[in-house]
Amino acid sequence: MTLEVRLDAVRVGGVRPLPREGQPSAIDKHEVDGPVQVTTLGLAGDEHGDPRVHGGPEKALHFFSVEGYRKLADALPDVDVRIGSLGENLRGVGATEQNVCVGDVFRLGTALAQVSRPRSPCWKIDHVLDHDGANLTLAELRCQGWYLRVLEEGEVAAGDRMTLVDRHSPAATLDRLLRVQQEHRPDVAELRELAGATGLADQIRRRLLGRAQWLQANPGA
């Protein structure tokens, strides 16, 4: 499959108090002009308010599509859903949860990165958008963006291309993974198939296999 996206923005942010209650967060990022260094821990100058759940090699970069912003804005017409408000490092048009798969490898400028897992929307989105339940809406729409691990360090800038160079698991679209995770009693075989997708983050793989094991042991529950 051919998939090439122009990166509209490359964004980094520092830790600062988050409205409404002042918790430390780096979700408020700004766009960078010119090339930014890409390392195995993310973009130079980017920070994380809670390193226990953000950042690290498996979540080095976060991509969010313009299409995702449009979906959320359509679902929440009374909320000010501003493009760039949800903490992404990279943004563009044409790559979505429907056409991106677990394990996809992309050339980003001179760096090489691999899709590791979907983003899990949290309460911070509610605070940023000043709307309780916005994070749940984002999850229901299955357009929350995804994380990438960095395979080769390099540089990336707004205007660069994000080009698919390798696809290991064409059946494991992010949308399919998110749908299965949402189902009350997903198919055990499908859980195991998705768990076997090349490049899937170990945390998600263990979660899928654990759920498959529980469902198989409790068929009537």
Quote the CA–CA distance of 186 and 188 in Å, as a whole number. 6
Residue 174 phi/psi, 5-degree rounding, is -60, -35
pLDDT for 114 equals 98
Q: Which two tokens stand for residue 172?
A: 């494991």
Domains of the chain in sequence order: 4-168 (2.40.33.20)
pTM of the model: 0.96
- How does pLDDT run across 164-203, given as a tens digit for each residue? 999 999 999 999 999 999 999 999 999 999 999 999 999 9
